[in-house]
Every structure is written in structure tokens, then in C-alpha cells.
A and B are shown apart, each in its own frame.
Chain A
């Protein structure tokens, strides 16, 4: 005790609903809305301090957050989409302001909410390293000294003077991560950046993160990849609907999270949903149906499953769309990736959106809890991607003659099989 790196007290963040969706407001609308707005502010002015929530279209993305992080500690933050993880990190990185409460940070902070922020396709690899480094808060001198190391880590030595628009996406991502990995503040705030690159580079990234984690730096780490949370973090905080639901040793929190994770057969997405992509198309809803076409949140092992995705097109037409669904293990490992251009062929262009259905004839997963990521692309550009959209259970069934099944940590799949023997 005594020394603290991060101290958070009764922190909260409130959005007025519609505030985020205000993008298209025009001047005329503002002028016409002014009288109403003034009346509203006047009312809010009086009501302030009463601390009531939910009134007047308010939405608390985060509420009553109290946290202490000791120097050198690696704290994981987990929770569903929209639980407030990213909002918390954004407040602590000063990107957005809290609505109430306070936080104190002792030491130099570096935040990494994304890799490759500020990368420009026209600039060369070398130039982008400097640009990105500066945005992440590195000094030019610091970048100079680490430059060779960064480039070696990314493995792009020959392409340093090539504009990165000619880089493959893998190379770009490797370079971006390499810059980020060489950031050396006392306190690091990291959001979901490990999900980059191919499998071998991911291992390298996690290795590097582990190295950083054990170098005595304080790290706040948000990830959907529970496996990496488990590997890197000593302690974990579980957020649910903007509040801390549980705080404690990582194993316990993860177990609680997996156990209580909200299961449903249908999830609708709105502007509060955490997603990325260019936004020409947006998913509105995901539904799970069983073989009989009934909406379900569980199927038996080896049964068929239909995933119905409803989407809309914001900027028609959506050309050469590619839809994709990935089934992940509870720890976030992808098990099955189904993209239309690989598993089906070309999909028709879309003007207004609608539904697209993926029929999986049989799903040979062992009993357990799984979740789905969904994505839609135009050409090869991601338009919308939502991770861990929905969780569903696969219930046990006697698929083997013994009636027994492998344990969940032993395997995730089963197969129609038989053993024969030919020996003495």
C-alpha cells in the first residue's frame, strides 16, 4: 500500500442520448432547436447535484468507478460490449472528460487505444514511424535511438523508404505494433491491440507485452481476448453496464465472467455498440435459429445453427460485399471463420440492406459457451465489425458410444468417428 500509480474515485461519464449520433445536425436544426435546448439546460442546471441518473435521455456509460492500481501492477479490464471499458480508458488517457468523480495518475502515461494512429498511406515506413511515435507521445530523440530496434521488430527493413500504401496489411500492422511496443512510459493504457497480424506475429506481440508487463511498468489492459488477459494480468476488473461488478484475482474474475455472461438468442446493435470499420454498412441485429427455425440461445452438439444478420446500408450501394462470422472459444480464440468470399462466392450488391443468413449444417463443437464476431466488408475494406456479439451454449449430447466427452480444456471439437483395431 502507500504508493499508488492510478487512483480513481467515484468516476462517471454521462452521455446525453443522441449526442453521439449528432453527426448530421445542420445549422438550421441547431437554430430551431435552440429554445428547447435552453429550456433543457435551465432545468438541468436546477436539477444538478441531485445525482439522479436516467433522466432526460441521459445514458451513463460509466458510474461509481473506484480503483487503485499499484505501481508495477498489470490490471485487466474485461466486460461485454458497451460495459464501459473503452470509456474508462479514454477518460484515463484524457481523450474524453469524466462527468463526475476524479482520477489521479502518478507518472508519465502513454496510451495505446489502437495501433498505427496517424499512419498515412502516402508516407514511407520511416516517416510513419516518426509520425506515429510522436502521436503516441515519444520525443524525436527517443524515436531516433529506438528506430533500428523498431524496424527490426517489425521486420520491414527493406521497405523503409516505400510508402506504406504499398505495404501489405500485415506489414503495416507489424510496423504499427512495433512502434507501440517501444513506447516506454511509466504507465501504459492499452486497448485491444494484440488482435493484430498473423498468428506468429501475435505470439511475438504477446511475448513483448509480457516482457513489458514484467519490466515493472504499470499497465491497464483491456481486451476481448481473455486468454491474453489471463496470461498478462495479475488482477482484473469486470465491468458491467458501466459499473464495477467484480474486482479481484484474474482467475476468479474470469471464471465469474464466463459463468454469468449474458446469454441471449438475439442482440440488437445501436450507436452505443463498440464497433469499428468505415461504416458504409452497419449491422443492426443478430439472431440465432436452430434447425427448426426457432430462435434459440443453445443448440445440442452436432446440431445445425443458423445465424441471421440484419444490416443496413448507410451509403448505398454496397458493392461486392463480403459478410463474415467467426465462432470463438470462450477465451477468445477463433475456431471457425466463415467469410462469404471464401466459403460461398460473390454476394449481390446491396442498396438498402436487409438480412443475410448463414446456415451451418452441423456444428461439431463440444459442449461449452461460444461467441460470435461478425464483420462486413466492401472490396477488402472493413465496413463494420463487432466482436463478441452474442454468446450461445452448446449443450452436451452423447455423440460417442461411451456417453463420455473430452473435457473442455482438452479439446473444442468432436467428429463422427470410429476406431478399428488390427493388432495382436
Chain B
């Protein structure tokens, strides 16, 4: 008998396929097994993104730069909005950079399933990988934009504050809330293409609630509304990130712009506020993330049938 040579193999894995009942649990082992595919998805998106464009990496710098210019001109110079005593550039840029990361992740994740519909219908892998990789790829843009930010900080005479060790936490917050929301939108998008149209509107409006007004300027008499404003996790992330990168290092004598630096010192001394904001934003982020995961896993079984 022609048989395959007997191999002393470990017991074969047994896979059982059954009709799904309610919520399919989150299989962390399986996710770990597929980590390479997650890497490949992200790697592909990054490659394609920079390959297709003429200016390539430059876009990651031009985008935030242009946004910052617009904000500095419109909100700073024309509307004369307060900037927590920071130079306008250093007020808007960190906020915009981290915001763009959030908005990019949210948009990627929300459209991911529909964009990859073809792959969904032809192969199996944990569906979570697709929106997840959507939130990983914009990290590259973020890092490149941070180079620009560091340059700007140098120009204005700022160093990262001691609080900079919080940056990873803030990044995780931004990622978790983008992923959480993105999971819900992605699942809805499979069925209702409205999401595709609604999303730019949502991110635009949300942006103005997150990066324009310093939280300290919201009048105290607003009371509960003030708190409601802080429920937006991105307020905590944006303010926190700003706080992390705005430590003036030049002494008063040598600074070209003593006024600015002095004001900045004052801002730093009042900078306990972001901690509060982060503390409020953290549980909200967690809630968004868990709900997103729950909703996504609940809808997952229908994706291939209706996408």
C-alpha cells in the first residue's frame, strides 16, 4: 500500500463547526496564532500607501503641517482663541497630530471590512484582524509627524515634559477608542452603507470638539456640561499629549520670546488638569472598546454572507 510515511505527529487538532449561538467568544489564542497575518495586513497597507503616492512619506508631514497652518491662522490669528499660554504652533500641532492618528484609525477601521470584502468571502481568519490593522497603519504617519513636531519644539525652545512617559498610554487610549468605535461602524457598514457617508461628518464635528478649545477655557459655571465635554476621550488625549510635549527648556534670559516662555511656565504649573481629563477619559475609552468588541463579535457571523 502506498501510504504517506508514518510520522510521529502530535495529535491532530480537531475543529468543530456548529451554528453560532449568540456571542462568539473572543479567542485570544487564535488571535495570537494569526499575528503574522495581522503584520502582513498592516505591512501591505503601509507599503501600498507610500508606493502609490508621488511624494510618499512627505504626505505624513505635509498633512499635519497644512492643518496646523490653517488652525493657527483661523483660530489663532483671526479668531484669537486662547491657547493655554502656549505658542499657537505648539498648541495646535500636537493636538492635530494625535487627532489625525485617531481619525485615520477610525476611518480605516470603519471602512476596512467593506474594502476587504473580497478577502472575507474567500478565506477564514479572525475578522478582528482587519479593523485592527486599520488602526495600526496610521501609527507610521503619526511617528513621521512626530519628527516634525520635535523640530517645531526645538524651534520654540521646548522639550518633552517629564510627563512624556504618559505618551504610550495616550496613544493606547486613542487607539482603543478609535478601534472600539471603528468596530461598531465597520460592522454596521457591512449592512448599511450610510456609515460611509456619515463618517466624514462625524470625524469633522468631533475634531472641533477635541482640538480647538483648551479645556481650561470652558467656563466653570457650565458645571455638568463641562464634565460632559470631558467625557470625550479625545479631549483627555489631546490635552495630555500637548502637556507631554510642552516643557520650555530655555532660561528666561536667552529666550527670544520671553513672553511666550513665561506664559508657558504658568501653563505648566496649572497642568494638573490633563490628568483629571485622562482619568475621566480612560473608563470611557474602556467602555467604547468593550462595547465595540462585543458588537463586532456578535455581528461577525453574518459578515461573509451579506458584505
Contacts and interface: CB of A to CB of B under 8 A. Distances in A.
Interface stretch (A111-119, A235-243, A332-340, A348-356): A111-119
A326 to B, nearest CB: 24
Interface in B103-146: 118-125
A137 B36 CA distance: 9
Contacts of B198: 27
Contact of A90 (B13, B14, B304): B304
Given A107-B13, A108-B13, A19 B305 contact: yes
A215 interface: yes
Interface residues of A, number: 54
Contact of B192 (A15, A25, A106): A25
B306 A134 contact: no
B17 A22 contact: no
Contacts of A107: 12-13
Given A97-B301, A131-B40, A134-B36, A27 B19 contact: no
A114 B48 CA distance: 22
Contacts of B305: 15, 19-20, 96
B191 interface: yes
A139 interface: yes
A385 B52 CA distance: 30
Interface in B252-306: 301, 304-306
A122 B48 CA distance: 6
A14 to B, nearest CB: 10
B44 A109 contact: no
A157 B48 CA distance: 22
A216 B15 CA distance: 20
Contact of A95 (B37, B48, B52, B123): B123
A420 B213 CA distance: 99
Contacts of A135: 37, 40, 119, 123, 125
B16 interface: yes
Contacts of A98: 17-19
A283 interface: no
B122 A95 contact: yes
Contact of A122 (B3, B14, B51, B194): B51
B191 A134 contact: no
A113 B123 contact: yes
Contact residues of B: prevailing secondary structure? helix
Contact of B4 (A90, A118, A134, A216): A216
A96 B198 CA distance: 29
A91 interface: yes
Given A26-B193, A97-B20, A122-B51, A134 B37 contact: yes
B80 interface: no
Contact of A92 (B2, B17, B123): B17
A39 interface: no
Interface in B8-44: 12-20, 36-37, 40, 44
A15 B304 CA distance: 12
A114 B122 contact: yes
A123 B192 contact: no
A108 B51 CA distance: 36
Contact of B44 (A28, A101, A120): A120
A186 to B, nearest CB: 7
B47 interface: yes
A215 B2 CA distance: 9
Interface in B189-211: 191-194, 198
Given A19-B305, A30-B192, A215-B4, A117 B122 contact: yes
A52 interface: no
A297 to B, nearest CB: 33
A230 interface: no
Contact of A100 (B19, B52, B121): B19
Given A114-B122, A135-B123, A123 B48 contact: yes
A104 interface: yes
Contacts of B36: 134, 139-140
A113 B121 CA distance: 9
A363 interface: no
10 contacts: A23-B193, A95-B120, A95-B122, A99-B19, A105-B16, A105-B17, A118-B119, A122-B51, A131-B44, A140-B36
Given A23-B193, A94-B124, A135-B125, 4 more contacts: A72-B4, A103-B17, A105-B17, A122-B48
Closest 5 CB pairs of A and B: A216-B4, A27-B194, A134-B40, A94-B124, A103-B17
